[in-house]
Amino acid sequence: MPGNTRTVAALTLGCRLNQADTALIFDRLGKAGFSVVKPEHPGGVDVMIVNTCTVTGTAAQKSRQAVRKFRRSHPDCCIVVTGCSAGIENSMWHDEPAVDLLLPNTEKKHIAEHLARYFKEHRPLLFDSVAQEWEQVFSEQASGSFPFKSRALLKVQEGCNSFCSYCIVPYARGRERSRDWREIIDEFKSMLDNGYREIVITGVNVSTYNHQGRKLPELLHALLSINGDYRIRLSSTEPHPDNRALLDLIADNDKVCRFLHLSVQHGTDEILTAMNRHYTIAEFSAFVAEARSRIPNIHIGTDIITGFPGETDQLFEETCDFARRMHFANTHIFTFSPREGTPAATFPDQIPADKAKQRHDELSRICSASAQEYLRDQQGATLPVLFERRLKSGELSGWSDNYVKVLCKDKSLSPNSLAKVYVESCVSPDAVMGKVVI
C-alpha cells in the first residue's frame, strides 16, 4: 500500500445501527483512498472517528471522554465526531477543543468530502445541527465494510415516530424512513460475496420498514430467495402488529435465526402508558407465548427500565413478577436517567438514584436466573452454530442461531464455519460446551 495512504480508525458507541453506520463510513473512506485500521494501529492513525451515542446522558459523557482520550493518545490526528450526540449536543461539541471535524447525522454521508477539505485547509470544520425534511425512502450509496468483524450489519431503516416519553432517538435520528429496496438487496449480495455467513438486519425499529408498500416480511422473503450458505438475524425489534408475520418466516426458514429481542421496557400497563408505549402487558405476553409455541427453543430477549418516574414499590414488584413469568433468555436492564429534551425528564415523582439502583440490582438477579435457566435448557439440544474465532485455549467460540455462546474443541473447523453442534454441558454462566455432529 502506498506510503502516503492515510489511515482511519473508529470507535463506535451505542447501538448496532451505529455500528452499521460506521461500516458505511468505512466503505466511503475506503473508496476515497483511506486505509482502515484499528485504533491501536502501531503505525499511528491519521483520522480517528468517534461515532457517538446520546441515548442517555451517561452515553453522551462517555462519547466526550473517548474524544479526549484519543486526543491524548493521538495528538496529531484528525478527530472526527459524528453520530447522535453530534446533533443533540451540537453546541457542546463546538466548545470541545479536541474536535477537528464535527458531523451531525445529516453530514455523515459526506465525510470523504469534508475530510478532503479539512486536509486542504488544516482548520477545524464544525457543522451545526440543522432541521431536515426527511424523505420516506433513503439511499446510502455505500455498502457496509466490516474489516475486523465476523458478521455484517445491514441497515434497512432509520428514524422513529413513536416519541416514547423517555427517548431522545426521534430527535437525534428523525422520523421513520426506509432504505431503498434495491440498494438493500445489492448490499446483501455484496456481503455474501465478501464471505459473511451471518447478516444482521438493523435499524431504529426494523418492524416499521416500508418501501412502497413492501414491508419487512416481504424484504426478508426477497433476501431468503438469494442462494448461499448464510443465515439472517433480526436485531432488536419493537412490539409491532406486523411482528406476527415474522413468526411465519422464522418458523418456516432455518436461515432465519430463532431470535427475537423485543423491547418491553416495563412490566406494568401504568408505566407503559406513562412511557407512551402502545401495547399492554397482556398483548406482549400473548405474542411471546405464540412465538414460543410456534418456534421451539426460540431466544426471547428484552429491555426493561427501572426507576421510571412514578414507579411505586408495588409497580416495581409487579415488574419483577412479570420478569419471572416471562423467563427471558436475556434482559438488558437500564436505570432510568432523565434525558434533557424528553418529557419524562420533567415528570413528577422522580425516583431517587439510590432506590433506582437497588431496583436495578434486584431485577438483574431475577433476570440472570432466567438466563441461566435458558442456558441449562440447551443441554442435549443440537444447535446450528457459526464459529467466529479460536480462543487461546484452542477452543472454537461461536454463536448458535438462538444466540447461545458455544465452545467446541474440534480441530477440523475454522472460524467462519457453520456446523451442527450437540450441547453437552454448561461451562460458565454464559457459555455451553458441545461437539460437532455435522
For residue range 135-158, what is the model confidence (pLDDT) as tens digits? 889 999 999 999 878 899 999 999
Contacts of 130 (CB under 8 A, 6+ apart): 104, 106
User: Residue 162 falls within a domain, yes or no?
Assistant: yes
Mean pLDDT of the chain: 94
- In a domain? residue 145: no
Query: Per the structure, how many domains does the chain have?
Result: 4
Which regions of 172-221 does DSSP assign to beta strands (E)? 177-179, 198-202, 210-211, 214-215
Q: Over 50: is that where the pLDDT of 1 sits? A: no
**Looking at the structure, do residues 368 and 273 belong to the same domain, yes or no?**
yes
* Domain residue limits at 200: 150-244
Residue 72 has pLDDT above 60, yes or no: yes
Write out pLDDT tens, residues 149-191.
Answer: 889 999 999 999 999 999 999 999 999 999 999 999 999 999 9
Q: Are 360 and 336 in contact (CB under 8 A)?
A: no
**CATH number for the domain harbouring residue 208:** 3.30.750.210
Query: Residue type at 291?
Result: A
Q: Would you say residue 2 has pLDDT above 80?
A: no
pLDDT exceeds cutoff 80 at 4: no
Residue 270 resides in a domain: yes
pLDDT recorded at residue 94:
95
| CA–CA separation, 103 and 84 (whole Å) | 10
Residues 119 and 159 in one domain: no
Give bridge partners of residue 262 from the DSSP assignment.
237
Tell me, yes or no, whether 205 and 108 share the same domain.
no
Of the listed ranges 134-138, 212-216, 261-265, 400-404, the least confidently predicted one is 134-138
Domain boundary residue, one of 377, 398, 415 = 377
Residues 363 and 386 in one domain: no
Q: What are phi and psi of 385, to 5 degrees?
A: -125, 135
